Amino acid sequence: MKESIWKTLAEELNGSYIQRQYDHSDKAIISFDKFHIIFDNYTFYRTVNLATLEATYTRIVCPFTSNGNFKFQIYRKNFLDIIGKLFGLQDIVTGHEEFDKEFIIKSNDDYKVSEFLNDSELLELIRKHGRFHIEISDQKEIWGEKLPESNYELSFYLKGKLNSIETLIQLYLIFTKLITQLSKVEIINPVNE
């Protein structure tokens, strides 16, 4: 039997591995500077008429606390976004031309976004990877229930299962860089245990 990608990742990054439980995938939990970064897969089911549709996503989440209500989304532009921009879709510009051409950035605080994205190495790391979505959300594990007040999650997801340990390590590096930048501008704090 092939070893779980999450077990391999936990071993590579000195994290913890949690075996699959009921309908939840197994997961890797990696600690970074008092934060816990959780890697797993999520399968979404939707029934339409008599057909059940299924989609599996790779997720990475990092719970944190914050005194503000700062939220943002970053995702690669698609055809609908290009049309949306013609009709007034709001998109924050970082000033990094290549990044701004490829990505949509939405937020409730333009200034804070430009503060923490003022790092060309971080932007280049984000550009290297395919179609995904990064956001700060007040919902548990992206699609779950609303989190208690002042609790949020830095979240990443993409459709499909990632099976490349090298890619997952690169995504871990993006997450640690995001956490460092968001901490530096005092947007996030570790969850008290």
Task: Give the whole-angstrom CA distance, residue 142 versus residue 119.
Answer: 25
Q: Which amino acid is located at 55 in the chain?
A: A
Which pLDDT score, from 0 to 100, does residue 191 have? 87
Return the closest-CA partner of residue 44 out of 163, 168, 159: 159
Residue 29 in contact with residue 36, Cβ under 8 Å?
A: yes
- DSSP letter (8 states) at residue 178: H
The single-letter DSSP state of residue 168 is H
Q: Which residues pair with 41 in a beta bridge?
A: 58
Q: Check residue 119 and give its pLDDT.
A: 86
pTM for the full model?
0.87
159, pLDDT greater than 80: yes
Please give the DSSP secondary-structure letter assigned to residue 69.
Answer: -
Structural domain boundaries in the chain: 5-184
Is residue 27 pLDDT above 90, yes or no?
A: yes
